[in-house]
Structure 1
Amino acid sequence: MKLYYAPGSCGLASQIALQEAGQAYELIKVDFKTKTTVEGDYLQVSPKGFIPVLQLDDGDLLTEGAVILQWIADRHPEHRLLPPFGTRARYRALEWLNFVASDLHKGMAVMFSPYLDADTKKRFADGNLTSKFAYIDEHLSTHDYVLGAEFSVADAYLYNVLSWPPRVNLDLSGYAAIQRFMVRMGQRASVRAALEAERLAAR
């Protein structure tokens, strides 16, 4: 099994989930500027050109981080990385995965855009991201993890995206529950292993 990633990007969540599941995998680093890997043209692997991509042992490819996380969880139900099919908790987990993917992740991507100036990014953050951080902080003020007391792959994705604000000069120090969540996540062996593999520091 191979996981195609770029350091510090959204492949970190998939790595954390694979670590939690005890699943062996090979990391293949993608150079985003050249769209190449040690294997050659990355666009031959993923015409979308995005990461992560999980190549299964039979050669099949999975794309889209939120989908990869669900596949890992469902492949390893003994680790309880998602609630069981059909339960209300399952749909709550999917609700959070979709919120992180469609609102938070896409919103943060704007902050990395080379096509927008600093003032535009600040206005966007104030008008779009601040309310999302407040919503997350309020939720985490009464939950150790997204679903309550137990870790799920939704936490891996949320941690991944919440590690980005310092890179674009967004200060989350005023969100106490988010800060506690980030510390709690940073103490998990899976997170430490994934960060070490990408040569990143815990946030």
Structure 2
Amino acid sequence: MKLYYAPGTCALSPHIVALEAGVPLELERVDIRKTPHLSEAGVDFVTINPNLYVPVLELDDGSVLTEGVAIIQFLADLKPDAGLVPALGSPERYRFQAWLNFIATELHRMYSPWLFHPECGTQAQDVARRKIAERLEFVEDHLARSGPFLLGDRFTAADAYLFTIAGWSDFTKIDLVAFPRLGDFMARAGARPTVQAAMAAEGMKVAA
């Protein structure tokens, strides 16, 4: 299988999940800053994903799977013994999916004024920054009750997604000092060998 990615994007989360699960992936970088978006192999990315965003997982049969939340669940379900996703049909599975939905809709999309619509300007960014802080406070309170990870003691694919999105706080000037439990989570997750390996492979700065 092949993962199309761009450094610093949400494609980091399926990369982490694949390493945690021991699922081998070929990586193909996409330059999303230029038009047309070309992969490092020279493929016009619009032929892979007409929506022109990563991640995209190309399966062994040549078909593709899009949307990060779908991809990380697919990869985690390939290796259920890795414990990255609760069992299908269990209440815990739906709590896991609730966190994926929360991160996608209440956190990930809030970064649009920086990632996708910088033309909206600083006013939109200021509003988004306040909204993100409110959502991070919710995560902070949950980790205080149920941590160190979202589902307790076990690192799951949802944590890989949260680590990726919360990691964007640096360039959006959201200080995680105000969220000590989340800061601990970021340090704990960031110290995992799989997380460091994924970041290094994508050319991202790895914490010492």
Normalising by structure 1, report the TM-score: 0.96
Give, in angstroms, the shift of residue 64 of structure 1. 0.3
Q: Which whole-Å CA distance do the structure 2 matches of 1:106 and 1:123 have between them?
A: 13
| Cα separation, partners in 2 of 1:202 and 1:136, compared to 1, 3 Å | farther
Q: Which among 85, 88, 91 is matched to residue 91 of structure 2? A: 88
1:188 alignment counterpart: 192
Q: Post-superposition shift, 1:42? A: 0.5
Deviation at 1:31, TM superposition (A): 0.7
Distance 1:67 1:152 in 2: 14
Deviations 1:122-147 (A, max 9, x none): 13322x21210100111112311110
CA–CA distance in structure 2, aligned partners of residues 39 and 21 of structure 1: 29
Look up the match of 2:63. Answer: 60
Equivalent residue, structure 2, for 1:40: 43
Unaligned stretches of 5+ residues in structure 2: none
Q: Any runs of at least 4 consecutive aligned residues in structure 1 with deviations exceeding 4 A, and if so which?
A: none
Are 1:97 and 2:100 an aligned pair? Answer: yes
Q: Counterparts of 1:52-201 in structure 2 under 5 Å?
A: 52-112=55-115, 113-126=117-130, 128-142=131-145, 143-201=147-205
Return the offset for 1:39: 3.2
- Over residues 83-106 of structure 1, what are the superposed CA-to-partner deviations in whole Å (9 max), with x where a residue is unaligned? 101111000000001111111100
Moved more, 92-101 or 104-113: 104-113
Instruction: Please tell me the residue identity of whatever aligns with 1:54.
Output: L
TM-score by length of 2: 0.93
Over aligned residues, Cα RMSD in angstroms?
Answer: 1.2
What's the CA shift for 1:55?
0.5
Contact conserved, 2:65 with 2:71, CA < 8 A, in 1?
A: yes
CA–CA separation in structure 2 for the residues paired with 1:8 and 1:25: 18
Tell me the CA shift for residue 81 of structure 1.
Answer: 0.9
Percent identical residues: 37
Contact kept, 8 Å, 2:133 with 2:174, in 1: the verdict is no
Whole-angstrom CA distance in 2 between matches of 1:109 and 1:188: 28
Aligned to 1:17: 17
